A and B are shown apart, each in its own frame.
Chain A
Amino acid sequence: MNLSLLSEERKPAMRRPGSLTATALFAQRTLYHMRNNGFGLAIEAVVSPIVLLLIFTFLFGGAIEGSVSGYIQYLLPGILVLTVVPMSVYSGTTLCNDLAKGVYARFRTMPFWQPAAVFGSVVAEGLRYAAALLVVLTAGLALGFRPDDGIAGAALSGLYVLFFAYGASWVFAFIGTAAKRPETVSGTSMMIVYPLLFASNVLVDTSTMPGWLQAAIDANPISIAVELTRGLIHGTADALDIAAGLGVGLLPIAVFAPWTVHAYLTKGLR
């Protein structure tokens, strides 16, 4: 083994990376993860959203709306949310994985801005969301979905769903810092995600429900997000929809982002 590179005169310049650089490096790390696991990414961001869209469009389309092309106008904005929210659970499994393995100890003993490890991975996850959103929109257009508000509306609603997923990802990131094992993270998170997703207005219009049920379903944050997504894509959103929709995205960020970073930084230090 040749260790000539350890001699003093070969010591290269090191400059402590700034907070932005460190965050970008952790984002890049997440991109490497995606690239090294291209198959998983393809299944998750391409195949499974299309399968979901096909199932709901054709299975439910006839039964609920009487026609496939009629139902998809209602369904597609909801499928955008239904696809992306479960993907945001990953931010929690990644964090929990780091905390469970020795790599956390190495990160912690390096003098960079520590929250970068949390922010970087959460930020880069957005690329997966965006890819899945594009896939669903494209597949929807092929199946006869026509956004009433054109490209602008579709782009706006896509951006909104991205924002909402970021909000949701902080909830799971927090679960990731609290759980002992990554399996617990996905289990716990799915237990929260699926009841919320299906007890919502993603698949069915709430106006035919009895009053108490409608009130409950409409108060579901997923319903509020889907309501705004629909409004943006079809150009019918009013100020109240926008305020409520932004609120359900901002609230989890405001509550869980600081909490997550704090939990990450103090883990095991007691």
Chain B
Amino acid sequence: MAYVIEAHDLRKSFRGQEAVRGVDLAVRRGEIFALLGPNGAGKTTTIRMLATLLRPDAGAARVCGCDVAADADGVRSRISVTGQYAALDESLTGRQNATLFARLHGYSRREAQAQAAELLEAFGLADAGGRTVATYSGGMRRRLDLAVGILSRPEAMFLDEPTTGLDPQSRRELWEAVRRLAKAGTTILLTTQYLEEADQLADRIGFIA
């Protein structure tokens, strides 16, 4: 497999408005690829199509060797997605979230608890693990979001504006986490509106406007 994420001429319109006008991209294994563009450029729509959350109107994409249209389940079992807002259950505690998602990924009860404990520790959330996510700061949510995202050991991760709304300290912590994930072999496609973030973090940058 040459590329982990490949898209060719992806297009999507909403009510006649073209949101994505023919995106082509190719991302190699272990690479951090940043999709840079202003609000409304179609970054989120592109990610949602690649993550099988939206059906493209035209074009084709393969993620981890699976076609996003023909084999959505194959894609889903190999990726993880985090949106602009943390994809967590706010009424559950950090630990309950991590354990629930681990179980849904198919870990045994004991393994799920061990994984949850280890990830909370690694992401600096061990002390906050017993509090509901509703009480977390923005930075804590994003970190938990990432932690939950790697439970399945995804080959590719899609991060939609992972640092929007974070303070500089939390942002640097999140960058560090992303770098380590990539170093461990995870392919990362992220969107951002900040040139600095793309510049600091990404191996390659794609512009979308």
Contact = CB atoms under 8 A, between A and B. Distances in A.
Nearest to B51: A109
A41 B15 CA distance: 43
Contacts of B148: 106
Interface stretch (A10-18, A182-190, A240-248): A10-18
A103 B111 CA distance: 22
The 10 closest A-B pairs by CB, nearest first: A106-B87, A102-B87, A6-B184, A102-B83, A14-B106, A102-B85, A111-B77, A15-B106, A111-B76, A3-B180
Tell me whether chain A's interface is mostly helix, strand or loop, or mixed.
Answer: loop
B93 interface: yes
Interface residues of A, number: 37
A142 interface: no
Nearest to A6: B184
B105 A1 contact: no
Given A14-B105, A29-B100, A32-B92, A269 B87 contact: no
Interface stretch (B1-9, B116-124, B200-208): B116-124
B25 interface: no
Contact of B181 (A6, A28, A109): A6
A29 B55 contact: no
Given A1-B180, A6-B184, A14-B152, A109 B80 contact: yes
A186 to B, nearest CB: 16
Contact of B153 (A6, A109, A111, A112): A6
Contacts of A28: 100
Contacts of B79: 109
Nearest to B96: A32
Interface in A6-50: 6-7, 11-17, 21-22, 25, 28-29, 32-33, 36-37
A111 B79 CA distance: 10
B164 interface: no
B92 A33 contact: yes
Contacts of A108: 52-53
